[in-house]
Amino acid sequence: MTDTLTFIVADDHPLFRGALRQTIECAFPGAAIVEAGTLDDVAAAIESAGDPDLVLFDLAMPGTRGFSGLVFLRAQYPAVPVCVVSGSEDPATVRRAMALGASGFIPKSEPTGSIAEAITTVLAGGLWTPGGIVMEQDSGDAEIAARLRSLTPQQVRVLMMMSEGLLNKQIAYELGVSEATVKAHVSAVLQKLGVENRTKAVLTAGRFEAGQWHLNAAE
């Protein structure tokens, strides 16, 4: 039944997308494969595909900051499994990605056989991570992950823009909403993250994401 499978391969490097496409085509003949190079492309591909069977997602691509793309996808499309495919093999990165709802974490250095095995495991409803990694999560990280996962898709976008230092007026322009709506989203983000101001919200996310978020948000 592999001819009914639909994959979205999300990576900003065409050569790696092509290599991953070849791996999928060999392991799952007849599967439909859609390529995406930015976070917006991923969202558009998911909308177009309806319910893709799996999104293979690189954390470092245009439109994302640290784990923000993964947080957004899990919030916006909770029923679509997302497997991170990353150049990082850092155990903390693996644990944090899984805590945020990834169904698997595949280092790009894995051989094609392992990648196919990982995809098969995730398609069957399981979780896949590289061997030898202790998956016990730090209690502080687990709490922050839970708070981040409680954000709505729009709140995630607002947090991403806060991390870039954008003011409410600028965020409102980018999202096409009123400044009052942005203020409401900011208040909700602060409440859900358990912090008092914008800077602490970005710092909280930055602590979890090992410094991958910019910490220049305005007060």
Largest CA distance in the chain: 54
Looking at the structure, do residues 105 and 12 belong to the same domain, yes or no? yes
Q: Convert the pLDDT of each residue in 181-212 to its tens digit.
A: 999 999 999 999 989 999 888 888 776 665 34
Per the structure, the complete domain to which residue 69 belongs is given by 2-123
Of 71, 97, 123, the position where a domain reaches its end is 123
Of 91, 123, 155, the position where a domain reaches its end is 123
- Reference 74, options 153, 147, 21, 4; nearest CA is 153
When divided into structural domains, the chain yields a total of 2
Query: How far, in Å, CA of 204 to CA of 115, rounded?
Result: 33
Q: Convert the pLDDT of each residue in 102-124 to its tens digit.
A: 999 999 999 999 999 999 999 99
Q: Convert the pLDDT of each residue in 54-100 to its tens digit.
A: 999 998 888 777 788 999 999 999 999 999 999 888 888 898 899 99
Question: In the prediction, which pLDDT does 165 show?
Answer: 86
Q: Is 41 helix (H, G, I), strand (E, B) or coil?
A: helix
Looking at the structure, do residues 19 and 45 belong to the same domain, yes or no? yes
Q: Work out the average pLDDT over 213-218.
A: 33
